Homo-oligomer: A and B are copies of this chain.
Amino acid sequence: MTTTPTVPRTTGTGARPTDGGRPVVPATGRLQPLGLAQVRITGGFWAERQEVNRAATLGHIEHWLEAEGWLPNFDAVVRGDVATTRRGREFSDSEVYKLLEAMAWELGRRPDDALERRFAAIVERVAAAQAPDGYLCTRFGNPGQPARYTDLEWGHELYVQGHLLQAAVARARTGHPDDLLVEVARRSADHVCEAFGPDGIQGVCGHAEVEVALAELGRALDEPRYVRQAALFVERRGHGTLADIEWGRSYYQDDVPVREATVFRGHAVRANYLAAGAVDVAVETGDDELVAAVARQWERTQAARTYVTGGQGSHHQDEAFGEDFVLPPDRAYSETCASIGSVMVAWRLLLAQGDPRYADVVERTLFNVVATSPAHDGRAFYYANTLHQRVPGEPAAPDQVSKRAESSLRAPWFEVSCCPPNVARTFASLAGYLATVDDGGVQLHQYATSEVRATLPSGEPVALDVETGYPADGRVRVRVVEAPERWALTLRVPAWSGSGLLVVDDGPARQVPAGTVAVPDLRAGSVVTLDLDVTPRFLVPDERVDAVRGCVAVQRGPEVLCVESVDLPGGRDVADLRVDVAVPPREEDGRVVVRGLLVDPATAPWPYTPLRGGAPGWTGAARGSVPVEAPAEVPVDVRLVPYHDWAGRGPSTMRVWLPTV
């Protein structure tokens, strides 16, 4: 079922020329972002994903929102029967808004009349459901439904309105500040400020989101009231206004005030969204202490609560961070949305502070979680991203809604389907995360074949063409198309590369350490080549990550690799593989290969046996068990795949962390 095209009232005032839209526009900070008209990804890994997102994923999501009734819920509000006909979870409105946001960024990236009409038709339906005072939610407050804001813990009313605001931010920044969606969002935000202002309800939403959204909408519409309300929400959290629950108030970060916390904790999506909002508020209000507090929490979270993929969250039960170093690969939750939140936080800290470590994390997370979620056809997704699949999965039917966040194969849709539209909005706006400017020049943080057409704060234009086979190839070639007299091109040298080789025009190759390297005063026509070392390497875990003691992972460039059982001979399982780390990983026909043994563990009736000598345990003669023989060992060369490609060839077992010989 598709929507009937209507007159695109939402573009009635006409699009205005812009920078194409920037996802995040802080008033202050070390670096300034660029818009989707200033950075265009023109080829390679991310261009392919953007194209699939445009051509397949947006329509896929729209289809499911109609089919599952989440978009028709808005029509039901208008009809007045939503209390009896409503479908979907309490937060389903937000998926509609994330689709609108994705469409808005996509339209900012490339005009498309048909998409514009689909966008407008959805906005009309959303707008029609808004209450006269600006409140907008299909789950509460309508006749026959629970009253507004009677369940701040689980109701998600501010969360869904937050996503409405973020969609409007995308629309306003992509040339449509007078769009109907922006008008709707403005009225919703005004309502929120009224209802939850200094004299209003002294509460916060169980799921952080409205903070980052209000801050960004305030910036986009030059409305400081919204930023002040965001700041109020940030300050108000952590004082236990939400109910204590089975998992504690840390679940929704209401245990400790943001500026007093020492680490991200509780529900991983909520924690990241809150942190992103806190940084937005902090840079807007010049609150260096708050930026520093979030940065400290981020440091410990990266050091002790993040998977090698960049994924976060090891608890299925509460979709939450575990304690420090609780990072089991086979129970990794690593929700796609948590990683999108992690990218949001790292990007904001990068803009605020300029440290290339933040860009390292953005890269790691994009390649190894966000890119892992969607299937190559853009019509199925991982919600959770395990690092160890012990049993081959069963394919979901294309028309089946998955009940299981932790499905072992990508699923077309979920009963809780936050991740697909979150991926869509991220991919549509991805170019906004590649480059920045400052008074000194242009910084390239992420590498993709792309065109950068920036304007420095001085007003001087800089134009760059970037060519790279990244991540398959580590060579990045930057051609200067236009440049001022005095400026510098700053390139990130990723930590995984250790160092890079830099060549400017016909100059000598120069080894540059990981971090950043600035090349001054390049002229139009100059070419800078940065060679990064994508040699595959074994990684060893900190021994406090107990769950992967004695294992290695393999990384090549920014990509974490994995072993799939489909690549093992004779139908063997990944559990049987032991890797020989004395033989470095090598490359063969475009695949990374490791040397190892396939072992055949003897089946014992009890898996815990005395170390040596002493009692024979259950394998002893007295029990009449089968005698334990030395396991058969078969030498094997195994071809790995990038983790983001796993399960692309059907059901398999898989592991990222590989036990050693």
A620 nearest CB neighbor, chain B only: B514
Question: Cβ of A308 < 8 Å from any Cβ of B?
Answer: yes
Asked if A114 lies at the interface with its beta carbon under 8 angstroms from chain B, I say: no
Residues in B whose Cβ lies below 8 Å from that of A617: 495-496, 498
**B248 close to A533 (CB less than 8 A):** no
Q: Are A547 and B328 in contact (CB under 8 A)?
A: yes
* A608/B540 contact (C-beta < 8 A), A390-B324, A498-B620 known: yes
> Chain B interface: which of A65-73, A160-168, A548-556, A562-570?
A548-556
Count copies of this chain in the complex: 2
Q: Is A316 positioned at the interface, with any CB of B under 8 Å from its CB? A: yes
CB within 8 Å of B: which A333-347 residues: none
The smallest C-beta distance from A355 to any residue of chain B, in angstroms, reads: 9
- A316's partner among B316, B539, B607, B611 (CB-CB below 8 A) is B316
* A330 to B308 Cα, complex, angstroms: 19
Beta-carbon contact of A601 and B326 below 8 Å: no
* A630 contacts chain B at the CB level, 8 A cutoff: no
A638 contacts partner chain B, Cβ-Cβ < 8 Å: no
Q: Which residues of B contact A317 (CB under 8 A)?
A: 315-317
Q: Shortest CB–CB separation between residue A328 and chain B, in angstroms?
A: 5
What is the bound-complex CA distance between A137 and B618, given in angstroms?
A: 45
Chain B residues whose CB sits within 8 angstroms of the CB of A649 once the complex forms: none
Most B CB contacts (10 A, CB to CB) among A323, A331, A620 go to A331
- Kindly list chain B residues whose C-beta atoms are within 8 Å of the C-beta of A304: 607
Q: How far is the CA of A415 from the CA of B497 in the complex (A)?
A: 52
Chain B proximity mask over A269-294: 1 for CB below 8 Å, otherwise 0? 00000000000000000000000000
- A302-B357 contact, Cβ under 8 Å, with A330-B326, A620-B513: no
Contact of A553 among B325, B608, B618, B620 (CB under 8 A): B608
Partner of A539, one of B244, B323, B608: B608
A604 within 8 A of B: yes
Minimum C-beta distance from A240 to chain B (A) = 14
A305's closest neighbor in chain B, by CB? Answer: B607
Q: Kindly state whether residue A659 has any CB partner on chain B within 8 Å.
A: yes
Residues in B neighbouring A493, C-beta threshold 8 A: 622
Say whether A13 faces chain B, with CB atoms less than 8 Å apart. no
Scoring A248, A314, A495, A607 by chain B CB atoms within 10 A of each residue's CB, the highest score goes to A607
A330 touching B546 by the CB < 8 A rule?
Answer: yes
Q: State whether the Cβ of A245 lies closer than 8 Å to any Cβ in chain B.
A: yes
Chain A residues bordering chain B, tally (CB within 8 A): 83
Shortest Cβ distance from residue A466 to the other chain B in the assembled complex, whole angstroms: 22
* Contact present for A607 and B550 (CB under 8 Å): no
Q: Tell me how far the C-beta of A218 lies from the nearest C-beta in chain B, rounded to whole angstroms.
A: 33
Interface readout for A514-558 with B: 1 if CB under 8 Å, 0 if not? 110000000000000000010101111111111111111100000
A513 cross-chain contacts in B, Cβ below 8 A: 620-622
Tell me if A303 counts as interface (CB < 8 A to partner B): yes
Q: Could you say which of B308, B495, B603 contacts A618, with CB atoms under 8 Å apart?
A: B495
Cβ of A391 < 8 Å from any Cβ of B?
yes
Q: How far is the CB of A452 from chain B (nearest CB, A)?
A: 24
A369 CB, nearest partner CB in chain B, Å = 15
Q: Which residues of B contact A79 (CB under 8 A)?
A: none
Partner of A542, one of B299, B533, B601: B601
- In the bound complex, how far is the Cα of B620 from the Cα of A497, in angstroms? 11
* B302 touching A606, Cβ below 8 Å: yes
A189 to B486, CA, bound (A): 90
User: Of the candidates B247, B390, B533, B538, which one forms a contact with A404 in the assembled complex, judged by CB atoms under 8 Å apart?
Assistant: B247
A513 (CB) vs chain B CBs: closest residue: B622
- A535 to B499 Cα, complex, angstroms: 54
Q: What separation, in Å, do the CA atoms of A328 and B548 have in the docked complex?
A: 11
CB contact under 8 A between A331 and B331, given known A315-B316, A515-B622: yes
Q: Chain B CB within 10 Å — which of A317, A388, A515 has the most?
A: A317
How far is it, in angstroms, between the C-alpha of A415 and the C-alpha of B246 when the chains are bound?
Answer: 9
B546 near A659 with CB under 8 A, answer yes
Which of B246, B497, B541, B615 is within 8 Å of A615, CB to CB?
A: B497
Shortest distance in angstroms between A475's beta carbon and chain B's nearest beta carbon? 17
CA A611 – CA B607 in complex, angstroms?
29
B323 touches A615 (CB 8 A): no
A303 touches B246 (CB 8 A): no
Q: Is there contact, CB below 8 Å, between A551 and B549?
A: yes
Known pairs A493-B622, A496-B617, A610-B539; A605 contacts B303 (CB<8 A): yes
- Residue in B325, B328, B549 whose beta carbon sits within 8 Å of that of A607 in the complex: B325
Cα distance A158–B623 in the bound complex, in angstroms? 40
Q: Which A residues from 99 to 156 make CB contacts under 8 A with B?
A: none
The 29 sampled A-B contact pairs (Cβ below 8 Å) are: A244-B403, A246-B404, A246-B405, A247-B404, A248-B404, A303-B603, A303-B606, A316-B317, A322-B331, A323-B330, A326-B330, A326-B331, A331-B331, A357-B605, A495-B617, A495-B618, A497-B615, A498-B617, A513-B622, A514-B615, A514-B620, A537-B610, A538-B610, A540-B610, A541-B608, A542-B608, A546-B657, A553-B608, A581-B611
Q: Can you add 11 more A-B contacts, CB < 8 Å, to A357-B605, A542-B604, A549-B659?
A: A244-B403, A246-B404, A247-B404, A303-B604, A303-B605, A495-B617, A514-B620, A537-B614, A539-B609, A540-B610, A546-B551
